């Protein structure tokens, strides 16, 4: 986290509002129930929106801390499962190579 | 794909062919090519879904060491992700297949379609395919790269793309 000068919320406040609105929509309820079998939890988006606005209006250190903690938790949640495969350091060497000649001739 | 170093060129990375059976498409890792079965793709919506499905395989091939031919768990993982993230298992598509279910049905569909996809390309038993899917499901179902979420429709896809464009600001401020 970049402290003090230069820090800004990880997402613009209008994005937090859009995510909260989407989360609370009937359509998202249906999608979430269909995938997870339970209702979605949208409260954290509302808290993040409030923190974002608090930062914009008052440059609140507590708002900054709260937002960072919330987003780090989101990132951690995406990384909690061990990957099945090893990630590459560079893309496959043959991705851009031309196709074998016999295939081109067909 | 471009960001991962695998910019996609339509002429090089796509091939429209006639296919056996009712297979809609495939990803050939040995040639880095997506095959679209022109005799089995029914309409534009189906085409969109098949292209998305195969691009997820291509994305996995680009970002990871996927042992497509020697590790059925790797194949299973990519098939789980493709079924999960392409729209294959949307409520509407399942209803059209006369598979009725609501609560958590998406996961049932993803498992079943991943198994079918594995059996279409590997000469193994259904039990072996099922075991592989079961072993990798928890990890691979929750891997939503590159979207960060399941893109149920254009709104979700738009939000996912917005997050991708915002990634530098995001990671430098958390």
Q: Do A84 and B142 form a contact (C-beta atoms < 8 A)?
A: no
Spell out the residues 6+ positions from residue B152 whose beta carbon is closer than 8 angstroms to its own. Answer: A31, B87, B90
φ, ψ of residue B40 to 5 degrees: the values are -120, -10
List the single residue in B with minimal CA-CA distance to A72: B174
* Site of tokens 């040639």: B31
pLDDT in tens, A50-99: 999 999 999 999 999 999 999 999 999 999 999 999 999 999 999 999 98
- % of chain B surpassing 70 pLDDT: 100
Tell if the pTM clears 0.90, that is, is over it.
yes
- For chain B, 174 residues long, give each residue's pLDDT as a single digit of tens: 999 999 999 999 999 999 988 899 999 999 999 999 999 999 999 999 999 999 999 999 999 999 999 999 999 999 999 999 999 999 999 999 999 999 999 999 999 999 999 999 999 999 999 999 999 999 999 999 999 999 999 999 999 999 999 999 999 999
Contacts of B106 in chain A (CB under 8 A): 34-35
What are the residues of chain A with a beta carbon less than 8 Å away from any beta carbon of chain B?
Answer: 1-2, 7-11, 15, 18-19, 22, 30-31, 33-37, 68, 71-72, 75, 78, 81-88, 90-92, 94-100, 103
List the single residue in A with minimal CA-CA distance to B61: A92
Q: Do B33 and B13 form a contact (C-beta atoms < 8 A)?
A: yes
Which of A9, A34, A106 has the most B C-beta neighbours within 10 Å, making it the best mutation to test the interface with B? Answer: A34
What's the rounded Cα separation, in Å, for the pair A32 and B48? 23
Q: What angle do CA B4, B166, A36 make, to 5 degrees?
A: 80
CB count in 10 Å sphere of residue A40: 17
């Amino acid at each position: 986290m970049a402290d003090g000068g230069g820090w800004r919320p990880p997402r613009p406040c209008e994005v937090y509002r859009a995510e909260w609105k989407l989360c609370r929509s009937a359509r998202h309820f249906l999608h979430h129930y269909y995938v997870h079998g339970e209702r979605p939890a949208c409260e954290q988006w509302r808290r993040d929106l409030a923190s974002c606005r608090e930062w914009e209006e008052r440059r609140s250190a507590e708002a900054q801390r709260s937002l960072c903690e919330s987003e780090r938790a989101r990132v951690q949640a995406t990384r909690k499962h061990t990957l099945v495969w090893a990630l590459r350091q560079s893309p496959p060497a043959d991705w851009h190579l031309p196709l074998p000649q016999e295939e081109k001739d067909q | 794909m471009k960001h991962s170093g695998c910019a996609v060129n339509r002429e090089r990375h796509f091939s429209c062919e006639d296919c056996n059976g009712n297979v809609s498409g495939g990803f050939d890792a040995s040639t880095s090519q997506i095959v679209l079965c022109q005799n089995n793709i029914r309409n534009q919506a189906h085409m969109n879904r098949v292209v998305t499905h195969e691009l997820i395989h291509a994305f996995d091939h680009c970002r990871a060491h996927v042992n497509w031919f020697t590790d059925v768990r790797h194949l299973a993982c990519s098939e789980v992700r493709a079924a999960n993230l392409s729209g294959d298992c949307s409520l509407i598509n399942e209803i059209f297949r006369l598979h009725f279910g609501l609560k958590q049905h998406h996961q049932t569909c993803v498992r079943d379609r991943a198994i079918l996809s594995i059996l279409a390309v590997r000469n193994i038993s259904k039990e072996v395919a099922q075991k592989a899917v079961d072993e990798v499901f928890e990890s691979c179902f929750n891997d939503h790269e590159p979207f960060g979420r399941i893109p149920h429709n254009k709104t979700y896809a738009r939000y996912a793309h917005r997050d991708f464009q915002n990634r530098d600001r995001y990671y430098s401020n958390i």
